[in-house]
Structure 1
Amino acid sequence: MADTTKEPTKEEEAAAIAKEKAEQEELPYKWSQVIEEVTVIIDVPPGTRSRDLIVDIKRTSLVVALKKYADKPFISGQLYSDIKVDDSTWTLDDQKEITITLAKVNKIEWWPHVVTGAPKIDVKRIQPENSKLSDLDDETRSMVEKMMFDQQQKQLGKPTSDELKKEEILKKFQTQHPELDFSQAKFS
């Protein structure tokens, strides 16, 4: 069976980028992301006060609207992925702009859109900013270091961290049970 997938031409790529840009500009908000969070910025009428707003941030959904136009929200829907509500925030800046920061649960995933149903971006075109391992939280840094180690080990044809851990457990078991013969054992 022939492979029908092909690389897009420069013209097709440029058209896709232009279409994506136009779709994003039509949204009633601007958004951006880094690997650990999504930021949404919404312009509101000058003089807007926080009591004039509905901002409902939930683990899987987001609603932002002016109370007097609650039936026409700026953004409303199911989030692309779960967020940490307690680590997510919103502010009203100079009574004219809402800034919402959504803390991603999955910090190794790029979002193609904020809410389902909104136009998507091509996440393959995202150029992540260079970051240092020291910039990451302990859990994420540990996971990245393990992935880097395992990748290096595979390139060298050596066992990964999980395989090394299994070997260590087996050696410990063998020293605790010298009476057992493992000479014919096969491990996969």
Structure 2
Amino acid sequence: MAILSDYQEENQDQTMEIIEKEQENSSTLAPKEEEHSSSTPKEEKLQPNKSNGLDMENYSWGQSLQEVTINVPVPPGTKSRFIIVEFKTNTLKVGLKNQPLILDGEYFKGVKVDECYWSLEDQKEISILLTKQNKSDWWKSLFKGGQEIDTQKVEPEPSKLSDLDTETRAAVEKMMFDQRQKQMGLPSSEEIKNQDMLKQFMEQNPDMAKNFGNAKMMMPNSRMME
């Protein structure tokens, strides 16, 4: 004859086994859900147009390292007095009077307002020129939150590279070199510079270089002793 306390303990043991199995099942399902969420494809970056920008539905834009150009078609015969263009350091508004704005957004990066211009071409297109504040970066998009281009596929015109000032040209050449190195899985210009400096130091100071090598070998032991 079973004792009541023993019967209760057996039921408790069975209940605990059921709970543990449920917990194991739920824990095995969790990683699958995480894997599913992490496998969600990210939005791919687009191939730049020939002007290193994008052709959009109502406008197109392009860029050099120094400037951004925007072309906005308008109805033929449009007069300049009907055009609205508002330049600000971080935002741009473009449109026609008494109509919804064609462009209204925050630049991908800041511009120099005093060096931004617009003109009406053949009464059918607004041409806009923006001067970048930072002249060593490619914009991924015209506006923040907009469709992005793959800046590694940007192709600056070689003929214009020679027209840049010394500082900007050096920055462009360094950036192009680093992009090529990255694509080939090779060290960047900064990493190569550091490697050359270390090599030169070791050649000029062989004794210190030897001690430096020993110190690196002893480092794991010293950490273990700590």
TM-score, scaled to structure 2: 0.52
Partners of 1:139 and 1:16 in 2: CA distance: 29
Tell whether 2:169 aligns with 1:108: no
Equivalent residue number for residue 83 of structure 1: 111
The counterpart of 2:98, out of the listed 46, 68, 74, is: 68
Q: CA deviation at 1:120?
A: 1.7
Distance 1:41 1:107, change over 3 A: same
Give the greater-gyration-radius structure (CA).
Answer: 2
The 5-angstrom pairing of residues 1-188 of structure 1 reads: 17=46, 24-69=54-99, 72-131=100-159, 134-137=162-165, 139-141=167-169, 151=189, 154=193, 157-158=196-197
Any unmatched runs of 5+ in structure 2?
1-43, 178-188, 199-226
Q: Conserved in 1, the CA contact under 8 Å of 2:45 and 2:150?
A: no
Which whole-Å deviations, capped at 9, do the CAs of 1:108-166 have from their partners, x for residues lacking one?
Answer: 11111111232222222212222566411355246568999xx498288148xxxxxxx
Greater helix content: 2
Query: In the alignment, residue 78 of structure 2 is paired with which amino acid?
Result: T
Amino acid at match of 1:130: P
The TM-score, its normalising length taken from structure 1, stands at 0.62
Tell me how far apart the structure 2 counterparts of residues 133 and 80 of structure 1 sit (CA, whole Å).
Answer: 23
Higher relative contact order (CA closer than 8 Å, sequence separation 6+) = 1
Identity of aligned residues (%): 42
> 1:162 corresponds to which residue?
none
Indicate conservation of the 8 Å contact 2:86/2:93, yes or no.
yes
Partners of 2:142 and 2:173 lie apart in 1 by: 29
Question: For residues 119 and 143 of structure 1, do their structure 2 counterparts lie closer, same or farther at Cα, with a shift above 3 Å needed?
Answer: closer
Structure-2 separation of matches of 1:112 and 1:146: 19
Tell whether the 8 Å contact from 2:46 to 2:148 is kept in structure 1 after alignment: no
Mapped to 2, the partners of 1:34 and 1:43 lie a distance apart of 21
Q: How many residues align?
A: 141
- Alignment-mate amino acid for residue 74 of structure 1: I
Distance 1:73 1:111 in 2: 23
Secondary structure of 2:152's aligned partner: helix
Gaps of 5+ in 1: 1-14, 160-188
In 2 relative to 1, CA 50–131 (structure 1 residues): closer, same or farther, beyond 3 Å? same
Q: Provide closer, same or farther for how the CA distance between residues 91 and 110 of structure 1 changes in structure 2, counting only shifts above 3 A.
A: same
